[in-house]
Amino acid sequence: MQKLLVVSLCLFALSFGRELTPKVSIDTKYEVVSINVQNKNLFVSTTQGALLVYDIADLDSIKLTQKIVLPPYEDFFGNSYKPKIYNSATNANGDILIVSANAQATRDLSLYKNGSLELVINDKNIAKAVWFSPTQVLIGFLSHEVGLFDFQRNSFVFQTHITQASFSDMFYNNKDEILYTTGESGVIYVINPRDGAILNKFSNFNKDKVFCLAFGGGKLVSAGNDRLVGIYNLISGKELRRFESVRSDFLVYSVGISEDGQRIAYMGDERGNVYVLDSVNKQRVLLTGIDSVVNGIFFYQDFVVVSSDSSKIYFFKI
């Protein structure tokens, strides 16, 4: 059995670098639930039934290019509500998946394509959906089932129950064709996205719920309720070469990693500050000026994009 080298990255805390404020910020006028960056577009899911699309190619002139509004729903008493949008995902063709709330207190999956909105799956406990191919979608359920849905067949290729622990997040590593899921237990499952087979699992690292996963440069990172940022250095996306960790001063609700895996960003304290660790020069940069709990972190070019439980999104130049 391969021996695992466990290292604590306390050395980062000993080499504190710059403190940065946002270079740019935008006010969406809606409460933000989650964000997603695809090429030069920023997709913003909101609590008020609107998915906002911003062109961020030039951060000096960010433009709102599209606003997709989901139809309201009515409860048993006839009260009308705007559906909360939990997350979205976009493929290379510009087709958008939208996971949203409904009148049954469950969730729907919709597809926005060629200017029209189509309800694909309704009244299911869907937590997240990501594209596997132009015609297939990986879906994670709150029960920690995972399924591959085929639009051409209008049915699931497979559905499999991964664990009894409730679902919190998943990430599709398209380079290695690996799906990662995690949840209440802190265990990370490595899954074959074609058939749902569990290829591996990483346990005994995060000791409590993992809120968020991100992947870049052969590294999978986790944001934990146990105040740990887990850094999993992987071989071919599924075998653990080395585990490292960073301790935060607060619950880590969100984490992000640069495409090359050099920089890792995470919410680091109760004030909403974000720390960016550089694995090459061992520096830590502090990002300040965020007004509430962080719910999304993405790297875009030489910027870190941060969203929080408010209407604002922040852009920090690193």
pLDDT tens-place string over residues 2-40: 334 444 444 344 356 789 999 999 999 999 999 999 999
Give me the pLDDT at residue 282, please: 78
Give me the pLDDT at residue 279, please: 82
Cβ partners under 8 Å of residue 100, min gap 6: 49, 70, 83, 84, 85, 86, 107, 108, 110
Give me the pLDDT at residue 76, please: 84
Q: Give the integer Cα–Cα distance in Å for 108 and 235.
A: 36
Place of tokens 């049915």: 155
Describe the chain by its helix, strand, coil percentages, rounded to 5. 0, 60, 40
Helix (H) or strand (E) holding 9: none
Q: Is 280 left (phi over 0), alpha (psi -120 to 50) or beta?
A: alpha
Give me the pLDDT at residue 201, please: 97
User: What is the three-class DSSP state of 174?
Assistant: coil
Give me the pLDDT at residue 261, please: 97
pLDDT tens-place string over residues 87-131: 999 999 999 999 999 999 999 999 999 999 999 999 999 999 999
Name the β-bridge partners of 301. none
How many helices (DSSP H) and strands (DSSP E) are in the chain? 0, 32
Domains recognised in the chain with CATH numbers: 29-247 (2.130.10.10)
Q: Give the integer Cα–Cα distance in Å for 129 and 99.
A: 7
Which residues of the chain register pLDDT less than 70? 1-16
Give me the pLDDT at residue 15, please: 56
Q: Give the integer Cα–Cα distance in Å for 35 and 312.
A: 11
Are 100 and 112 in contact by the 8 Å Cβ rule? The answer is: no
Give me the pLDDT at residue 5, please: 43
Rounded to the nearest 5°, which phi and psi values hold at 278? -105, 115
Decide: pTM greater than 0.85.
yes
